[in-house]
Structure 1
Amino acid sequence: MTILVTGARGNIGSRLVAALAEAGHPVRGSARDATTLRLPAGAEPAELDLTDPGPAAADALRGVDAVFLYPVIGSVDAFLEAAVAAGVRYLVLLSSPSAYEAGEFDRPIGLVHRAVERAVAGSGLKHTVLYPSWLATNAGRDWADQIRASRRVAMAFGDASVTPVHPDDIARVAADLLTRDTHRARMQILTGPRPLRLRDAVATIGDVLGVELPVDDLTRDEALERDQGRMPRPILETLLDVAAASVGQTAPVTNAVERVTGRPAQPFRSWVEAHRADFQPG
């Protein structure tokens, strides 16, 4: 039976499609615009808007036994109804600890994830929710431009503690859950192998590049002003408040990646080494 991976263009979805195809599982990757998909050999493309699935849902779900659901803003009820009607038996939902953490669950990011979780629970589909910790890819999103341009990083709350998780590990866990029933718990909380302060994560990048990367400490207000609207203000405010609350704390670590996949979680450095070019000038 086929596995449908929604959000197949994304950091996690693209890796999951590749992992499933490499293992020989029939897999179909979807996106709103199927022409933007770059799928590995053996994977089928599908065009699908999760918030407005319409007739396309029947084609995307044809012969599908299990689904990886990428969280979106908006109602996924119609898609879930189509999945039930198509005979889908199991679903893996990518969520976020913001759905339950103090200071986040009742703010914009948490509310989006909680809405999707409620919809999945209400659908009656058997499912597992994945809660990955701070994504290693956040380093590229937040710091790559600064490092390429100036060889330094400006940030607020550099002493905030995170446990970076490698996107490949999230994809491997999802692949295992979609193809075996051994670890199909209600949820799996995924982390990397050890916590780091944000400034230590920057230092790791510098060590891989062979350069020193000074961190310029910003106040919360300075960070808000510096962003200049690149990120919606309520989202940035939430992220800054979460970072402030984690200063002096130790981010949690779980063994879920190794327990599910049989392989230890990869350290943050391994992601940086694989993406060294993202931080290089030019």
Structure 2
Amino acid sequence: MTILVTGAGGNIGSRVVAKLANAGHPVRGTARDTTALRVPAGVEAVDLDITRPRDVGQALRNVDAVFLYPVRGNADEFLASAREAGVQYVVLLSSPAAYESGEYDRPIGLAHRAMERSLENSGLPHTVLYPSWLATNARRDWGEQIRNTGRVGIAYPDAQVNPIHIDDVAEVAVRLLTEERQRGRMQVLTGPESLRLRDIVGLLGKALGKAIPVDELSHEQALAQRPSWMPEEILKTLLDVTAAAVGVPAPVTNTVERVTGHASRAFTDWARAHRADFDPSESEHH
């Protein structure tokens, strides 16, 4: 039977597709527009918008399990179709924002809770994944600044998070999609340690072989520097949550090791592999 991966072009979805394909599982990857979707040889690519599933027959044909990427919008029709098509199990990628104080009742948390509620109401057996602060957030939030200026501005740099390597998230998802033994209702995934944001920048600097100064931004300065792609309300929520994490250790779980059999990867592992994202000169050596 085939495993369907929605959001197959994303950071995590693409890795789930690759790991499943490498293990020999029949995989079908979906995206709203597959013209730019790159999948491994042997993987079928199908256009699919789970909030507007006009034709889900091709996507769900012979599908036994689904990796579900969270989206804003109503997924009820797609999930009902998945149940009718004989899908046996779903892994939903969610976020701790769905339950954390300061987030669960604000836009990010509400969007994830709505997706979880739709899945629960569908009656499909499932596990919800709650990965901690993704290591790739460093590239998203700081990459351009570090490439262009060699330094980075951060509000509340003493806030603590627990970076998780996205390969660990993908590996847990693959294990759950293909093995039954760890299929709990939820799995909270973290990296091996709680770190301050300024410590993470320090680890990036070590990976690059040069210090990266941190400029502490005020709340107002951070809002004024909001990237165009991020809604203001989302940034306000993130800043409030970050402020509340100053001096508060982030939780650590052993879920990655329990599910995959190996300890969760350190942030340093990710930083070393992605030096070129922060220093263009590094690309000359790869």
TM-score range, shorter chain: over 0.9
CA positional deviation for 1:230: 3.8
Over 6 Å off, 4+ runs: none
| Residue ranges of structure 2 left out of the alignment (5+ in a row) | 282-286
| Residue type at the aligned position of 2:137 | N
Equivalent residue pairs, number: 281
Equivalent runs, 1:44-59 vs 2, <5 Å: 44-55=44-55, 57-59=56-58
| Residue type at the aligned position of 1:186 | R
Kindly indicate whether the alpha-carbon contact (under 8 Å) linking 1:149 and 1:281 is maintained by their aligned counterparts in 2: no
Name the residue aligned to 2:85: 86
Name the residue aligned to 1:9: 9
Name the residue aligned to 2:284: none
Name the residue aligned to 1:266: 265
CA RMSD between the two structures: 0.8
CA positional deviation for 1:44: 1.0
- Residue 212, structure 1, aligned to residue 230, structure 2: no
- Residue 276, structure 1, aligned to residue 275, structure 2: yes
| Residue ranges of structure 1 left out of the alignment (5+ in a row) | none
Residue deviations 1:98-141 (CA, integer Å, cap 9, x gap): 00000000000000000000000000000000000000000000
User: TM-score, structure 2 length as denominator?
Assistant: 0.97
Name the residue aligned to 1:180: 179
- What is the alpha-carbon distance in structure 2 between the residues aligned to residue 228 and residue 279 of structure 1? 18
Question: Which secondary structure state, in structure 1, belongs to the residue aligned with residue 225 of structure 2?
Answer: helix
Name the residue aligned to 1:36: 36
CA positional deviation for 1:257: 0.3
Kindly indicate whether the alpha-carbon contact (under 8 Å) linking 1:90 and 1:126 is maintained by their aligned counterparts in 2: yes
Name the residue aligned to 1:111: 110
Name the residue aligned to 2:194: 195
Name the residue aligned to 1:165: 164
CA positional deviation for 1:14: 0.1
Q: Percent identity at matched positions?
A: 63
- What is the alpha-carbon distance in structure 2 between the residues aligned to residue 152 and residue 230 of structure 1? 22
User: TM-score, structure 1 length as denominator?
Assistant: 0.98
Question: Which secondary structure state, in structure 2, belongs to the residue aligned with residue 227 of structure 1?
Answer: coil
